[in-house]
Amino acid sequence: MELRCVLRGWGFWGGVLVLLGSCLAAHGTGGAAGLLRSEPVRYLLPVASALPCAAAWREQTVTGFWRPAVSRCGRCSYCIGLLLACWISGAGAVLLALLICSALVPLTAQAASVLRMGLLAGLDALVGLFGGLVFRSRIAAWFTPFLVCFFLSMVKERYLPRADALDLMRWPAPCVLLAALLAAAALLILMQRRLRA
């Protein structure tokens, strides 16, 4: 799937609007730091990052688009291209929404948090791609990242209140990047197995 098609599609701009709406809903919750840690942003960030491209695997397997693409570039290149398109479009939608939101609340002092949220958005997009791959549903691709985020926050809140590792918004950027690379490697293996079947 070409990245240009993803960036022109409704999913990318829908993700930007979802996160922009959550930023507007959270406006006035304690400045830039409060905005980035607010509940609407926390729970809608995974949905906003999954909308652009997480359902691409499902769409391409249903339409049969993957067959000519794989014959032209090979299985591995096709899967890596899909993973990169998913990562870039999810992170790009979130970063664009935060850039627009910075007109309301200056986020320049929170540059590290914004970068971490972009990396986390890419990870959420890959989780959405995994959801679409496993459950073979567009809706599962869009909402699997939200369900994972919600499940982890509920476990942390109710059972393990001191386990800060369950709060993905507090992960440092290198940990998010490492988790995303591991998720991409696992997805690459799973996607190539599905293409062989």
Q: What is the pLDDT of residues 99-151, one digit of tens each?
A: 888 777 776 667 777 888 888 899 999 999 899 888 888 888 889 999 998 89
Does 82 score more than 80 pLDDT?
yes
Q: pTM for this one?
A: 0.85
pLDDT tens digits, one per residue of 19-73: 888 877 776 666 656 667 777 888 888 988 888 888 888 888 888 888 888 888 8
Check: CB of residue 116 under 8 Å from CB of residue 172.
yes
Taking the C-alpha atoms of residue 93 and residue 19, their distance in angstroms, rounded to an integer, is 8
Contacts of 86 (CB under 8 A, 6+ apart): 52, 53, 54, 56, 125, 126, 128, 129
